A and B are shown apart, each in its own frame.
Chain A
Amino acid sequence: MMQVKALSGDQLAERLEQALPDSVVDKISDEVWVEPARIAEVARFLKEDEDLDFQFLNSVSAVDFIEYFALVYHLTSLRKQHTAIVKAKVYGRDELVVPSVYQVWRGADFQEREIWDLMGIRFAGHPNMKRIMLWEGFEGHPLRKDYL
Protein backbone atom coordinates (compact mmCIF):
# COMPACT_ATOMS: atom_id res chain seq x y z
CA MET A 1 0.00 0.00 0.00
CA MET A 2 1.35 3.38 -1.01
CA GLN A 3 1.24 6.04 1.60
CA VAL A 4 2.35 9.63 1.86
CA LYS A 5 4.91 10.48 4.52
CA ALA A 6 5.38 13.76 6.31
CA LEU A 7 8.77 15.43 6.00
CA SER A 8 10.26 16.44 9.34
CA GLY A 9 10.89 20.04 10.31
CA ASP A 10 14.61 19.27 10.48
CA GLN A 11 14.78 18.00 6.90
CA LEU A 12 12.87 20.99 5.58
CA ALA A 13 14.87 23.49 7.61
CA GLU A 14 18.14 22.02 6.41
CA ARG A 15 17.20 22.26 2.73
CA LEU A 16 15.83 25.75 3.15
CA GLU A 17 18.87 27.00 5.06
CA GLN A 18 21.17 25.74 2.30
CA ALA A 19 19.26 27.40 -0.51
CA LEU A 20 17.90 30.49 1.21
CA PRO A 21 20.08 31.48 4.18
CA ASP A 22 18.28 33.09 7.15
CA SER A 23 14.82 32.19 5.86
CA VAL A 24 14.14 29.67 8.64
CA VAL A 25 13.05 30.94 12.04
CA ASP A 26 12.27 27.72 13.89
CA LYS A 27 11.46 24.04 13.44
CA ILE A 28 9.27 21.70 15.48
CA SER A 29 8.63 17.99 14.82
CA ASP A 30 6.98 18.09 11.37
CA GLU A 31 6.72 21.79 10.71
CA VAL A 32 9.08 24.58 9.77
CA TRP A 33 8.62 28.26 10.61
CA VAL A 34 9.94 30.77 8.10
CA GLU A 35 10.27 34.56 7.80
CA PRO A 36 6.91 35.89 6.59
CA ALA A 37 8.59 38.42 4.31
CA ARG A 38 10.30 35.61 2.43
CA ILE A 39 7.35 33.25 2.10
CA ALA A 40 7.09 33.65 -1.69
CA GLU A 41 10.79 32.84 -2.17
CA VAL A 42 10.47 29.84 0.13
CA ALA A 43 7.38 28.71 -1.76
CA ARG A 44 9.14 28.90 -5.10
CA PHE A 45 12.09 26.90 -3.79
CA LEU A 46 9.84 24.24 -2.24
CA LYS A 47 8.02 23.86 -5.52
CA GLU A 48 10.97 23.91 -7.90
CA ASP A 49 13.50 21.87 -5.95
CA GLU A 50 13.59 18.41 -7.48
CA ASP A 51 13.78 16.46 -4.23
CA LEU A 52 11.10 18.45 -2.46
CA ASP A 53 8.81 18.93 -5.49
CA PHE A 54 5.87 20.51 -3.65
CA GLN A 55 3.67 21.10 -6.68
CA PHE A 56 0.41 20.88 -4.79
CA LEU A 57 -0.74 23.42 -2.23
CA ASN A 58 -3.41 21.76 -0.08
CA SER A 59 -4.45 24.73 1.92
CA VAL A 60 -3.50 28.10 3.30
CA SER A 61 -4.87 28.89 6.74
CA ALA A 62 -4.51 31.78 9.13
CA VAL A 63 -4.88 31.50 12.88
CA ASP A 64 -5.25 34.50 15.18
CA PHE A 65 -3.15 33.97 18.31
CA ILE A 66 -3.76 37.61 19.38
CA GLU A 67 -0.03 38.20 19.92
CA TYR A 68 0.58 37.21 16.32
CA PHE A 69 -1.11 35.58 13.33
CA ALA A 70 0.11 32.20 12.13
CA LEU A 71 -0.02 31.51 8.40
CA VAL A 72 -0.07 27.78 7.74
CA TYR A 73 0.72 26.20 4.37
CA HIS A 74 -0.06 22.52 3.92
CA LEU A 75 1.86 21.10 0.97
CA THR A 76 1.98 17.82 -0.90
CA SER A 77 4.24 16.41 -3.56
CA LEU A 78 2.20 14.10 -5.75
CA ARG A 79 5.31 12.69 -7.43
CA LYS A 80 7.45 12.14 -4.31
CA GLN A 81 4.43 11.33 -2.16
CA HIS A 82 5.33 13.39 0.83
CA THR A 83 3.77 16.29 2.69
CA ALA A 84 5.05 19.31 4.58
CA ILE A 85 3.77 22.05 6.83
CA VAL A 86 5.27 25.51 6.52
CA LYS A 87 4.31 28.28 8.89
CA ALA A 88 5.02 31.95 9.36
CA LYS A 89 4.36 34.30 12.26
CA VAL A 90 2.95 37.70 11.36
CA TYR A 91 3.14 40.18 14.22
CA GLY A 92 0.84 43.19 14.63
CA ARG A 93 -2.84 43.91 14.08
CA ASP A 94 -3.00 46.63 11.45
CA GLU A 95 -1.74 47.03 7.90
CA LEU A 96 -0.43 43.49 7.68
CA VAL A 97 1.13 42.57 4.37
CA VAL A 98 2.76 39.30 3.37
CA PRO A 99 4.05 38.29 -0.09
CA SER A 100 1.52 36.29 -2.08
CA VAL A 101 2.26 32.76 -3.29
CA TYR A 102 -0.26 33.16 -6.13
CA GLN A 103 2.51 33.22 -8.75
CA VAL A 104 3.84 29.92 -7.42
CA TRP A 105 0.55 28.11 -6.77
CA ARG A 106 -2.60 29.44 -8.46
CA GLY A 107 -4.52 27.38 -5.89
CA ALA A 108 -3.79 30.09 -3.33
CA ASP A 109 -6.00 32.54 -5.21
CA PHE A 110 -9.30 32.25 -3.32
CA GLN A 111 -7.72 31.23 -0.04
CA GLU A 112 -5.53 34.32 0.15
CA ARG A 113 -8.52 36.48 -0.66
CA GLU A 114 -10.45 34.72 2.07
CA ILE A 115 -7.68 35.37 4.60
CA TRP A 116 -7.70 39.05 3.69
CA ASP A 117 -11.47 39.11 3.99
CA LEU A 118 -11.86 37.26 7.27
CA MET A 119 -8.48 37.70 9.01
CA GLY A 120 -7.23 40.97 7.60
CA ILE A 121 -3.84 39.98 6.23
CA ARG A 122 -3.09 41.38 2.77
CA PHE A 123 -1.04 39.50 0.21
CA ALA A 124 1.28 41.63 -1.91
CA GLY A 125 1.47 40.51 -5.52
CA HIS A 126 -1.98 38.92 -5.63
CA PRO A 127 -3.63 40.25 -8.80
CA ASN A 128 -7.13 40.52 -7.36
CA MET A 129 -6.77 41.28 -3.66
CA LYS A 130 -10.32 42.04 -2.63
CA ARG A 131 -12.92 40.58 -0.31
CA ILE A 132 -14.41 37.27 -1.36
CA MET A 133 -17.11 36.13 1.09
CA LEU A 134 -18.21 39.53 2.38
CA TRP A 135 -18.89 42.65 0.37
CA GLU A 136 -16.55 45.58 -0.24
CA GLY A 137 -17.23 48.16 2.42
CA PHE A 138 -17.73 45.62 5.21
CA GLU A 139 -15.96 46.79 8.32
CA GLY A 140 -13.57 44.53 10.17
CA HIS A 141 -12.40 40.97 9.71
CA PRO A 142 -14.79 38.56 11.45
CA LEU A 143 -12.50 35.60 12.09
CA ARG A 144 -10.21 37.71 14.29
CA LYS A 145 -10.54 36.95 17.96
CA ASP A 146 -11.24 40.58 18.83
CA TYR A 147 -14.10 40.91 16.33
CA LEU A 148 -16.79 39.55 18.65
Chain B
Amino acid sequence: MPIRTEPMTVNVGPQHPSTHGVFRLRITFDGEEILEVEPILGYLHRGSEKLAEERNYVQVVTLTDRLDYTSSMINNQAYCLAVEKLLGVEPPLRAKFLRTLVAELQRIASHLVAVGFFIQELGAFGTPLMYAFRSRERILDLFEMLCGARITVSYMRPGGVFADAPPDFWPALTQFMHDFAIEFNEFEQLLLENEILLVRTRGVSPLPPEMAINCSVSGPVLRASGVNWDWRKMDPYDAYDKVEFDVPVGSHWDNYDRFWVRMQEVRQSMRIIDQCVAQIEPGPVRLVDLPLVIRPEAGAEAYGRVEASKGELGFYLVSDGGIAPYRCKIRSPSLINLTVTEHLLVGWKLADMIVSLGSVDINMGEVDR
Protein backbone atom coordinates (compact mmCIF):
# COMPACT_ATOMS: atom_id res chain seq x y z
CA MET B 1 0.00 0.00 0.00
CA PRO B 2 1.46 3.40 -0.98
CA ILE B 3 2.06 6.03 1.68
CA ARG B 4 -0.66 8.67 1.69
CA THR B 5 0.68 12.09 0.73
CA GLU B 6 -0.93 15.48 0.36
CA PRO B 7 0.24 18.83 -0.98
CA MET B 8 1.36 21.42 1.54
CA THR B 9 0.85 25.17 1.29
CA VAL B 10 3.60 27.39 2.64
CA ASN B 11 3.94 31.15 2.93
CA VAL B 12 7.33 32.46 1.91
CA GLY B 13 7.50 35.97 3.30
CA PRO B 14 6.41 38.70 3.77
CA GLN B 15 9.26 38.68 6.31
CA HIS B 16 11.84 36.54 4.61
CA PRO B 17 15.48 37.44 3.94
CA SER B 18 15.37 36.18 0.36
CA THR B 19 12.28 37.88 -0.96
CA HIS B 20 14.11 41.20 -1.39
CA GLY B 21 11.73 43.15 0.79
CA VAL B 22 8.24 42.58 2.03
CA PHE B 23 6.96 40.20 -0.60
CA ARG B 24 4.92 37.07 -0.07
CA LEU B 25 4.67 33.95 -2.16
CA ARG B 26 1.98 31.43 -1.31
CA ILE B 27 3.38 28.18 -2.61
CA THR B 28 1.84 24.72 -2.72
CA PHE B 29 4.40 21.94 -2.62
CA ASP B 30 4.21 18.28 -3.42
CA GLY B 31 7.20 17.16 -1.40
CA GLU B 32 9.96 19.33 -2.81
CA GLU B 33 8.23 20.13 -6.08
CA ILE B 34 6.27 23.33 -6.58
CA LEU B 35 2.67 22.84 -7.74
CA GLU B 36 1.17 26.31 -7.44
CA VAL B 37 2.44 29.81 -6.83
CA GLU B 38 0.60 32.97 -5.97
CA PRO B 39 2.52 36.21 -5.48
CA ILE B 40 0.94 38.51 -2.92
CA LEU B 41 2.08 42.12 -2.84
CA GLY B 42 1.18 45.51 -1.52
CA TYR B 43 3.02 45.45 1.82
CA LEU B 44 5.10 48.46 0.82
CA HIS B 45 2.34 50.32 -1.01
CA ARG B 46 2.68 54.02 -0.17
CA GLY B 47 0.47 55.40 -2.90
CA SER B 48 3.29 57.16 -4.74
CA GLU B 49 1.01 57.89 -7.69
CA LYS B 50 -1.52 59.62 -5.45
CA LEU B 51 1.21 61.49 -3.57
CA ALA B 52 2.54 62.78 -6.89
CA GLU B 53 -0.80 64.48 -7.55
CA GLU B 54 -0.28 66.57 -4.41
CA ARG B 55 3.22 67.82 -5.22
CA ASN B 56 4.59 70.13 -7.84
CA TYR B 57 6.61 68.80 -10.74
CA VAL B 58 9.99 69.32 -9.08
CA GLN B 59 8.96 67.86 -5.73
CA VAL B 60 7.85 64.62 -7.38
CA VAL B 61 11.53 63.88 -8.08
CA THR B 62 11.94 62.98 -4.39
CA LEU B 63 9.20 60.37 -4.68
CA THR B 64 10.96 58.66 -7.56
CA ASP B 65 14.05 58.04 -5.39
CA ARG B 66 11.91 55.83 -3.23
CA LEU B 67 10.68 53.55 -5.99
CA ASP B 68 13.56 51.26 -6.82
CA TYR B 69 15.95 52.48 -4.13
CA THR B 70 18.86 50.57 -5.67
CA SER B 71 18.61 52.68 -8.81
CA SER B 72 17.35 56.10 -7.72
CA MET B 73 19.35 57.98 -10.36
CA ILE B 74 17.66 56.09 -13.18
CA ASN B 75 14.24 56.74 -11.63
CA ASN B 76 15.04 60.46 -11.49
CA GLN B 77 16.05 60.30 -15.11
CA ALA B 78 12.86 58.57 -16.27
CA TYR B 79 10.68 61.08 -14.48
CA CYS B 80 12.63 64.12 -15.68
CA LEU B 81 12.51 62.86 -19.26
CA ALA B 82 8.74 62.51 -18.97
CA VAL B 83 8.37 66.08 -17.70
CA GLU B 84 10.67 67.37 -20.43
CA LYS B 85 8.61 65.55 -23.02
CA LEU B 86 5.49 67.11 -21.53
CA LEU B 87 7.02 70.57 -21.86
CA GLY B 88 8.79 69.93 -25.15
CA VAL B 89 12.18 71.02 -23.84
CA GLU B 90 15.61 69.42 -23.82
CA PRO B 91 18.33 69.77 -21.19
CA PRO B 92 21.75 71.22 -22.11
CA LEU B 93 24.35 68.85 -23.51
CA ARG B 94 26.48 68.73 -20.37
CA ALA B 95 23.44 67.76 -18.32
CA LYS B 96 22.69 64.98 -20.79
CA PHE B 97 26.18 63.56 -20.41
CA LEU B 98 26.10 63.90 -16.63
CA ARG B 99 22.79 62.08 -16.49
CA THR B 100 23.97 59.30 -18.76
CA LEU B 101 27.12 58.94 -16.72
CA VAL B 102 25.42 58.72 -13.32
CA ALA B 103 22.69 56.47 -14.73
CA GLU B 104 25.35 54.02 -15.85
CA LEU B 105 27.13 54.21 -12.50
CA GLN B 106 23.78 53.46 -10.93
CA ARG B 107 23.20 50.54 -13.29
CA ILE B 108 26.52 49.06 -12.20
CA ALA B 109 25.56 49.51 -8.54
CA SER B 110 22.15 47.97 -9.09
CA HIS B 111 23.47 45.01 -11.07
CA LEU B 112 26.09 44.40 -8.40
CA VAL B 113 23.33 44.19 -5.80
CA ALA B 114 21.33 41.86 -8.06
CA VAL B 115 24.26 39.57 -8.80
CA GLY B 116 25.58 39.66 -5.23
CA PHE B 117 22.27 38.57 -3.75
CA PHE B 118 21.72 36.07 -6.54
CA ILE B 119 24.95 34.30 -5.56
CA GLN B 120 24.11 34.63 -1.88
CA GLU B 121 20.81 32.88 -2.53
CA LEU B 122 22.68 30.04 -4.18
CA GLY B 123 24.31 29.47 -0.81
CA ALA B 124 27.62 31.28 -1.25
CA PHE B 125 27.14 33.17 1.94
CA GLY B 126 28.79 36.55 2.30
CA THR B 127 31.93 36.52 0.21
CA PRO B 128 30.65 37.31 -3.31
CA LEU B 129 28.11 39.72 -1.87
CA MET B 130 30.84 41.62 -0.07
CA TYR B 131 32.92 41.71 -3.25
CA ALA B 132 29.91 43.30 -4.96
CA PHE B 133 29.17 45.72 -2.14
CA ARG B 134 32.78 46.82 -1.90
CA SER B 135 32.45 48.39 -5.36
CA ARG B 136 28.88 49.55 -4.90
CA GLU B 137 29.91 51.46 -1.78
CA ARG B 138 32.40 53.44 -3.83
CA ILE B 139 29.70 54.36 -6.34
CA LEU B 140 27.47 55.59 -3.54
CA ASP B 141 30.37 57.69 -2.28
CA LEU B 142 30.59 59.27 -5.73
CA PHE B 143 26.87 60.07 -5.57
CA GLU B 144 27.42 61.65 -2.19
CA MET B 145 29.96 63.96 -3.78
CA LEU B 146 27.42 64.93 -6.43
CA CYS B 147 24.39 65.57 -4.27
CA GLY B 148 25.04 64.78 -0.62
CA ALA B 149 22.98 61.61 -0.57
CA ARG B 150 23.78 58.01 -1.30
CA ILE B 151 20.40 56.40 -1.91
CA THR B 152 17.71 59.07 -2.04
CA VAL B 153 19.70 61.19 -4.43
CA SER B 154 17.14 63.54 -6.10
CA TYR B 155 20.05 64.64 -8.27
CA MET B 156 18.16 65.33 -11.48
CA ARG B 157 15.61 68.00 -12.24
CA PRO B 158 13.32 68.56 -15.19
CA GLY B 159 15.62 70.42 -17.56
CA GLY B 160 18.94 69.05 -16.34
CA VAL B 161 20.60 68.22 -13.05
CA PHE B 162 20.48 70.29 -9.90
CA ALA B 163 24.19 71.09 -9.76
CA ASP B 164 27.34 70.45 -11.71
CA ALA B 165 29.77 67.84 -10.41
CA PRO B 166 32.30 69.34 -7.96
CA PRO B 167 35.93 69.47 -9.19
CA ASP B 168 36.88 66.62 -6.81
CA PHE B 169 34.39 64.35 -8.49
CA TRP B 170 36.39 63.79 -11.68
CA PRO B 171 39.63 62.48 -10.14
CA ALA B 172 37.56 60.33 -7.76
CA LEU B 173 35.65 58.89 -10.72
CA THR B 174 38.86 58.15 -12.62
CA GLN B 175 40.31 56.42 -9.56
CA PHE B 176 37.13 54.40 -9.12
CA MET B 177 37.03 53.31 -12.76
CA HIS B 178 40.65 52.20 -12.49
CA ASP B 179 40.06 50.21 -9.30
CA PHE B 180 36.74 48.84 -10.41
CA ALA B 181 38.21 47.37 -13.59
CA ILE B 182 40.51 45.27 -11.38
CA GLU B 183 37.81 44.44 -8.85
CA PHE B 184 35.34 43.42 -11.51
CA ASN B 185 37.93 41.18 -13.19
CA GLU B 186 38.32 39.42 -9.86
CA PHE B 187 34.58 39.14 -9.54
CA GLU B 188 34.25 37.67 -12.99
CA GLN B 189 37.04 35.18 -12.42
CA LEU B 190 35.39 34.09 -9.23
CA LEU B 191 31.94 33.62 -10.73
CA LEU B 192 31.51 33.42 -14.49
CA GLU B 193 32.76 29.87 -14.92
CA ASN B 194 32.27 28.75 -11.37
CA GLU B 195 31.28 25.10 -11.54
CA ILE B 196 28.86 25.15 -8.62
CA LEU B 197 27.12 28.18 -10.03
CA LEU B 198 26.85 26.57 -13.47
CA VAL B 199 25.48 23.31 -12.10
CA ARG B 200 22.90 25.10 -10.00
CA THR B 201 21.67 27.58 -12.60
CA ARG B 202 22.31 26.27 -16.13
CA GLY B 203 19.05 25.00 -17.60
CA VAL B 204 17.01 25.97 -14.55
CA SER B 205 13.72 27.85 -15.11
CA PRO B 206 14.11 28.81 -18.75
CA LEU B 207 11.83 31.60 -19.97
CA PRO B 208 11.06 31.30 -23.71
CA PRO B 209 11.13 34.59 -25.64
CA GLU B 210 7.47 34.40 -26.76
CA MET B 211 6.40 33.98 -23.16
CA ALA B 212 8.66 36.83 -22.03
CA ILE B 213 7.22 39.20 -24.64
CA ASN B 214 3.63 38.17 -23.98
CA CYS B 215 4.13 38.81 -20.26
CA SER B 216 5.57 42.29 -20.98
CA VAL B 217 8.87 41.32 -19.36
CA SER B 218 11.65 43.86 -19.94
CA GLY B 219 15.24 44.59 -19.11
CA PRO B 220 17.93 41.97 -18.43
CA VAL B 221 15.28 39.26 -17.99
CA LEU B 222 13.93 39.88 -21.50
CA ARG B 223 17.41 40.00 -22.99
CA ALA B 224 18.40 36.80 -21.20
CA SER B 225 15.47 35.20 -23.04
CA GLY B 226 17.20 35.99 -26.30
CA VAL B 227 15.32 39.15 -27.24
CA ASN B 228 17.57 41.96 -28.40
CA TRP B 229 15.66 44.94 -27.03
CA ASP B 230 17.14 47.83 -25.10
CA TRP B 231 15.42 51.22 -24.95
CA ARG B 232 18.80 52.93 -24.79
CA LYS B 233 19.31 51.69 -28.36
CA MET B 234 15.75 51.68 -29.66
CA ASP B 235 14.70 55.10 -28.44
CA PRO B 236 17.93 56.85 -27.40
CA TYR B 237 17.43 59.46 -24.70
CA ASP B 238 19.92 61.85 -23.08
CA ALA B 239 23.39 61.10 -24.48
CA TYR B 240 22.89 57.45 -25.44
CA ASP B 241 22.96 58.33 -29.13
CA LYS B 242 26.50 59.66 -28.66
CA VAL B 243 28.02 56.57 -27.07
CA GLU B 244 28.72 53.09 -28.34
CA PHE B 245 27.81 49.93 -26.51
CA ASP B 246 26.60 46.40 -27.19
CA VAL B 247 23.46 44.70 -26.00
CA PRO B 248 24.29 41.29 -24.50
CA VAL B 249 21.65 38.66 -25.23
CA GLY B 250 21.19 35.24 -23.64
CA SER B 251 20.98 31.98 -25.57
CA HIS B 252 19.69 29.47 -23.01
CA TRP B 253 17.03 31.72 -21.41
CA ASP B 254 17.78 30.25 -17.97
CA ASN B 255 18.86 31.47 -14.55
CA TYR B 256 22.50 31.47 -15.57
CA ASP B 257 21.77 33.69 -18.58
CA ARG B 258 19.92 36.20 -16.44
CA PHE B 259 22.98 36.37 -14.22
CA TRP B 260 25.35 36.45 -17.20
CA VAL B 261 23.47 39.27 -18.98
CA ARG B 262 23.82 41.47 -15.89
CA MET B 263 27.53 40.77 -15.64
CA GLN B 264 27.98 41.70 -19.30
CA GLU B 265 25.91 44.85 -18.88
CA VAL B 266 28.25 46.02 -16.16
CA ARG B 267 31.08 45.80 -18.71
CA GLN B 268 29.03 47.80 -21.23
CA SER B 269 28.20 50.42 -18.59
CA MET B 270 31.92 50.84 -17.94
CA ARG B 271 32.40 51.48 -21.67
CA ILE B 272 29.65 54.09 -21.65
CA ILE B 273 31.07 55.88 -18.60
CA ASP B 274 34.51 56.11 -20.22
CA GLN B 275 32.97 57.60 -23.37
CA CYS B 276 30.95 60.11 -21.35
CA VAL B 277 34.04 61.24 -19.48
CA ALA B 278 35.90 61.63 -22.77
CA GLN B 279 33.13 63.60 -24.48
CA ILE B 280 31.76 65.82 -21.73
CA GLU B 281 32.45 69.53 -22.15
CA PRO B 282 31.95 72.55 -19.91
CA GLY B 283 28.60 74.28 -20.12
CA PRO B 284 25.34 74.84 -18.29
CA VAL B 285 23.79 71.87 -16.51
CA ARG B 286 20.23 73.09 -16.19
CA LEU B 287 17.79 75.00 -18.35
CA VAL B 288 17.80 78.49 -16.88
CA ASP B 289 14.58 79.67 -18.49
CA LEU B 290 12.53 76.86 -16.96
CA PRO B 291 10.55 78.23 -14.00
CA LEU B 292 10.82 76.51 -10.61
CA VAL B 293 7.10 75.95 -10.54
CA ILE B 294 6.32 74.26 -13.82
CA ARG B 295 2.88 74.57 -15.39
CA PRO B 296 2.56 72.46 -18.54
CA GLU B 297 -0.40 73.37 -20.73
CA ALA B 298 -3.74 71.78 -19.87
CA GLY B 299 -4.45 68.48 -21.58
CA ALA B 300 -0.79 67.79 -22.34
CA GLU B 301 0.40 64.27 -21.69
CA ALA B 302 3.61 62.33 -22.15
CA TYR B 303 4.99 58.88 -21.63
CA GLY B 304 8.68 59.07 -20.76
CA ARG B 305 10.65 55.89 -20.42
CA VAL B 306 14.15 54.66 -19.83
CA GLU B 307 15.93 51.37 -19.77
CA ALA B 308 16.27 51.08 -16.01
CA SER B 309 18.41 48.42 -14.37
CA LYS B 310 15.34 46.20 -13.94
CA GLY B 311 13.67 46.95 -17.26
CA GLU B 312 11.45 49.52 -18.88
CA LEU B 313 10.62 52.23 -16.36
CA GLY B 314 7.96 54.57 -17.67
CA PHE B 315 6.19 57.63 -16.33
CA TYR B 316 2.86 58.49 -17.89
CA LEU B 317 2.08 62.10 -17.00
CA VAL B 318 -1.14 63.97 -17.66
CA SER B 319 -1.40 67.70 -17.02
CA ASP B 320 -4.47 69.80 -16.32
CA GLY B 321 -2.51 73.05 -16.47
CA GLY B 322 -1.88 73.06 -12.72
CA ILE B 323 1.37 72.99 -10.80
CA ALA B 324 1.07 69.27 -9.97
CA PRO B 325 0.64 66.34 -12.36
CA TYR B 326 -3.04 65.49 -12.81
CA ARG B 327 -2.04 61.85 -13.11
CA CYS B 328 1.36 60.25 -12.71
CA LYS B 329 1.28 56.59 -13.61
CA ILE B 330 4.45 54.65 -12.97
CA ARG B 331 5.14 51.71 -15.25
CA SER B 332 7.26 49.64 -12.95
CA PRO B 333 9.49 46.95 -14.46
CA SER B 334 9.74 44.96 -11.21
CA LEU B 335 5.98 44.61 -10.89
CA ILE B 336 5.47 43.53 -14.47
CA ASN B 337 8.44 41.17 -14.50
CA LEU B 338 6.76 39.35 -11.62
CA THR B 339 4.07 38.21 -14.08
CA VAL B 340 6.34 35.31 -15.00
CA THR B 341 6.88 34.11 -11.40
CA GLU B 342 4.41 31.30 -11.84
CA HIS B 343 6.04 30.11 -15.04
CA LEU B 344 9.53 30.25 -13.53
CA LEU B 345 8.68 28.38 -10.35
CA VAL B 346 5.99 25.79 -11.05
CA GLY B 347 7.44 22.33 -11.65
CA TRP B 348 10.81 23.25 -10.15
CA LYS B 349 12.18 22.37 -6.75
CA LEU B 350 12.16 24.28 -3.50
CA ALA B 351 15.93 24.77 -3.64
CA ASP B 352 15.65 26.60 -6.97
CA MET B 353 12.73 28.76 -5.95
CA ILE B 354 14.62 31.56 -4.25
CA VAL B 355 17.32 31.48 -6.93
CA SER B 356 14.79 31.88 -9.75
CA LEU B 357 13.09 34.69 -7.92
CA GLY B 358 16.48 36.33 -7.36
CA SER B 359 17.27 35.99 -11.06
CA VAL B 360 14.30 38.22 -11.90
CA ASP B 361 15.76 40.89 -9.57
CA ILE B 362 12.73 42.62 -8.14
CA ASN B 363 12.70 45.58 -5.82
CA MET B 364 9.68 45.96 -3.60
CA GLY B 365 9.85 49.73 -3.46
CA GLU B 366 9.11 49.67 -7.14
CA VAL B 367 6.68 46.74 -7.16
CA ASP B 368 4.36 48.28 -4.58
CA ARG B 369 5.09 51.97 -5.15
Q: Is the CB of B316 within 8 A of A61?
A: yes
Q: Tell me the residues in window 278-325 of chain B with beta carbons closer than 8 Å to chain A beta carbons.
A: 303, 305, 312, 314, 316, 318
What are the residues of chain B within 8 A of A108 when measuring CB–CB? 216
| Of B174-182, B198-206, B327-335, the one touching chain A | B327-335
**Is B339 an interface residue, CB under 8 A from the partner?**
yes
What are the residues of chain B within 8 A of A131 when measuring CB–CB? 42
Q: Tell me the residues in window 97-147 of chain A with beta carbons closer than 8 Å to chain B beta carbons.
A: 105-111, 118, 131-135, 142-143
What are the residues of chain A within 8 A of B312 when measuring CB–CB? 58
Q: What is the bound-complex CA distance between A108 and B329, given in angstroms?
A: 15
Q: Taking the nearest CB of chain A, how far is it from the CB of B284, in angstroms?
A: 26
What are the residues of chain B within 8 A of A44 when measuring CB–CB? none
Q: B46 — nearest CB in chain A belongs to which residue? A: A133
Q: A147 — nearest CB in chain B belongs to which residue? A: B50
Q: Is the CB of A78 within 8 A of B229?
A: yes
What are the residues of chain A within 8 A of B327 when measuring CB–CB? 61, 63-64
What are the residues of chain A within 8 A of B336 when measuring CB–CB? 59, 107, 110-111
Q: Is the CB of A107 within 8 A of B234?
A: no
Q: Is the CB of B42 within 8 A of A109?
A: no
Q: Tell me the residues in window 164-219 of chain B with beta carbons closer than 8 Å to chain A beta carbons.
A: 211, 213-217
**Is A81 an interface residue, CB under 8 A from the partner?**
yes
User: Which has the most chain A C-beta neighbours within 10 Å: B42, B236, B241, B329?
Assistant: B329
Q: How many residues of A contact B (CB 8 A)?
A: 33
Q: Tell me the residues in window 39-59 of chain A with beta carbons closer than 8 Å to chain B beta carbons.
A: 55-59
What are the residues of chain A within 8 A of B215 when measuring CB–CB? 106-107, 109
Q: Is the CB of B235 within 8 A of A59?
A: no
Q: What is the bound-complex CA distance between A111 and B49, given in angstroms?
A: 14
Q: What is the bound-complex CA distance between A62 and B327, given in angstroms?
A: 9
Q: Is the CB of A133 within 8 A of B216?
A: no
**Is B78 an interface residue, CB under 8 A from the partner?**
no
Out of B211, B229, B329, B338, name the residue touching A61 (CB < 8 Å): B329
Out of A2, A63, A107, A134, name the residue touching B216 (CB < 8 Å): A107
Q: B343 — nearest CB in chain A belongs to which residue? A: A106
- The verdict on A106 contacting B329 (CB below 8 Å), with A72-B316, A132-B41, A133-B45 known, is no
Q: Taking the nearest CB of chain B, how far is it from the CB of A141, in angstroms?
A: 11
Q: B38 — nearest CB in chain A belongs to which residue? A: A128
**Is B17 an interface residue, CB under 8 A from the partner?**
no
**Is A27 an interface residue, CB under 8 A from the partner?**
no
Q: Tell me the residues in window 20-47 of chain A with beta carbons closer than 8 Å to chain B beta carbons.
A: none
Out of B42, B216, B227, name the residue touching A135 (CB < 8 Å): B42
Q: Taking the nearest CB of chain B, how far is it from the CB of A37, in angstroms?
A: 23
Q: Is the CB of B335 within 8 A of A110?
A: yes
Q: What is the bound-complex CA distance between A83 and B262, given in angstroms?
A: 27
Out of B41, B326, B331, B338, name the residue touching A63 (CB < 8 Å): B326
**Is B368 an interface residue, CB under 8 A from the partner?**
yes
Q: Is the CB of A4 within 8 A of B316?
A: no
**Is A18 an interface residue, CB under 8 A from the partner?**
no
- The verdict on A4 contacting B234 (CB below 8 Å), with A59-B331, A133-B368, A143-B49 known, is yes
Q: B228 — nearest CB in chain A belongs to which residue? A: A78
**Is A74 an interface residue, CB under 8 A from the partner?**
yes
What are the residues of chain B within 8 A of A142 when measuring CB–CB? 47, 50
What are the residues of chain B within 8 A of A135 when measuring CB–CB? 42
What are the residues of chain B within 8 A of A118 when measuring CB–CB? 49
**Is B233 an interface residue, CB under 8 A from the partner?**
yes
Q: What is the bound-complex CA distance between A134 and B45, given in angstroms?
A: 8
Closest 4 CB pairs of A and B: A107-B216, A59-B331, A133-B42, A61-B329
Q: Name 21 A/B residue pairs within 8 A (Cβ), A-sorted.
A: A1-B241, A3-B234, A4-B234, A56-B213, A56-B216, A59-B336, A61-B327, A61-B331, A63-B326, A63-B329, A72-B316, A78-B213, A78-B229, A81-B234, A106-B216, A107-B216, A108-B216, A110-B336, A110-B339, A133-B368, A135-B42
Known: A61-B329, A105-B216, A135-B42. 7 other contacts (CB 8 A): A3-B234, A59-B331, A106-B214, A109-B215, A110-B339, A111-B335, A143-B49
